[in-house]
Amino acid sequence: MTDYANDPAVSNLRDYLQIRSVHPDINYDECITYLRRQAADLGLPAQVYEVKPKKPVLVMTWEGLEPSLPSILLNSHMDVVPVFEKSWTYPPFEARIVDGVIYARGVQDMKTTGIQYIETVRRLKEKGIRLKRTVHLSFVPDEEVGGHNGMSEFVRSDHYKQMNVGFALDEGLASPDDNFVVYNAERSIWHVTVTCPGKSGHGSLLLPDNCGEKIRYIIDKFMDYRRESKAKLDSDPGLTIGDVTSVNLTMLHGGIQNNVIPEKLTASFDLRLALSVNFEEFENMIKQWCAEAGDSVTYEFEQKDHYVAPTSVDDTNPYWIAFKAAIEKLSVPLKVRTFPGGTDSRFIRLQGVSALGFFPYRRTVPGLHEHNESLRVSEFINGIAVYEDIIPALANA
C-alpha cells in the first residue's frame, strides 16, 4: 500500500477538506484564508469579490501569453452539504486515509477538484510551461443551496465580465466503469408547491369542497407522470436519468388536529425538466391539473430555472475539439451525458459561454452527499495528471 503521508498534494487536499464549510450558516473566512495561501505559494494574484455580503468568490489568475484572448475558467465550490456524523464510520471532517481511501465530506463534491486545479497549475509552472490563454481558478460559495448568492450573481457582475471567459470546466460525476464521462448540459430545476384549500370542519363529516380529495388528485397526477418517466428510462438502455424528467414528492404540509378537517393542504415537488420538454406546455399541464383538482387550487414556484441550451460537442466548438483530443491522447473512452442535477455550469451557459462538467475519476462509485463520502487517493493523484493534459489543450485552443 502506498504511503501518502508525505505527499504535499495529498496534504493540501486534507487541509482543505478539514475546513468545515458546511451548511447551514457557513462562514467562508477559513476557506478564503487557505486559498489565499495557496495562491501565494503558486505565485498567482488572488482577488476576492463579494457581490453578495459574506458570500465571497475567490479568483486566482494565471495570465496567458495572449491575455486578450477569451480565458479559461476552472470552477469549483467551497461549500459542502450537511452530515449525519453518527452515520459515518470516520469523522467527516478529519479527512482520514484508510487503506488508500480518503473519507471526508466534500472529497467528491467537490473540494478535491479545486485542489486538483491548483496542483495542476503548480506542476505546469514548475515545468516552465506558459499557456496562450489566461486561466482563472474560481472558488465560489453556496452552490449546494442553488448558487443564487454565488455563481448566479457573480456571472452578472462586472468582475466576471472583465475576466473575458470563453470556456469553463466545472463539476461532473465519478464514473463507475472504465470510461470518462463529460456533461455538456443539465436539466432545469423547478420546485413547485401546490396549495389545496377546502372547507374546514369536524373530522366525522363528509363535507363538500374537501382539500384531501384535491391533494390526492394532484399527487396522483404528478406521480403518474413520474411513473411514465421511469418506464421510459427503464425501457431504453441508451437513456440515463439526465435524459428524462424526474418528479419527486418532497414535502407535505397541513392539518392542526386529527379530528379537524384542515382548511388547506400543500404538496411540494422537485422537478428536473429534460432538455426535450417544452416548458410552456409543461406549466400549462400543471395549471390544468390544478383546475381539474377543484376550486381555488393554486401553485407557486420556489425555484423555476430557465431553459439552458447545451454546450455544443461537435466541430463547431474549438474548446470541445481541444478537450476531446486531450482525452483521446489518454486512450480512455469518453461518454457525453446530461448532468442529472444542477451545477453552477447552468449560470455560465446562460451567459453564452461553453461549459463542461468533468471529474477525472474512473472505477469509482459516485458518492455525492452520501454518508462516508470517499475517494481513492490514487484517483485524486491520477486526476492531476489528467488535468495536466486537458488544461493546456484548452488554454492553447
Dist CA 229 CA 205 (whole Å): 38
Which residues touch 350 (CB under 8 Å, ≥6 apart)?
A: 155, 306, 308
Which residues touch 168 (CB under 8 Å, ≥6 apart)?
A: 72, 73, 74, 75, 345, 348, 353, 354, 355, 356
Three cell numbers, residue 257: 388536529
- CA 267 from chain center: how many Å? 25
CA dihedral sign of residues 383, 388, 393, 395: positive
Dist CA 148 CA 151 (whole Å): 7
**Cβ pair 334, 182 in contact under 8 A:** yes
**Cβ pair 351, 166 in contact under 8 A:** no
What is the amino acid identity at position 221? K
Task: Please indicate whether residue 3 is annotated as part of the active site.
Answer: no
Of residues 109, 119, 142, 143, which has the active-site annotation?
Answer: 143
Dist CA 231 CA 239 (whole Å): 11
Task: Please indicate whether residue 305 is annotated as part of the active site.
Answer: no
Nearest to 385 by CA among 120, 2, 7: 120
Three cell numbers, residue 106: 466534500
**Cβ pair 259, 203 in contact under 8 A:** yes
Question: Which backbone phi and psi does 17 adopt, to 5 degrees?
Answer: -65, -25
Active-site positions?
79, 143
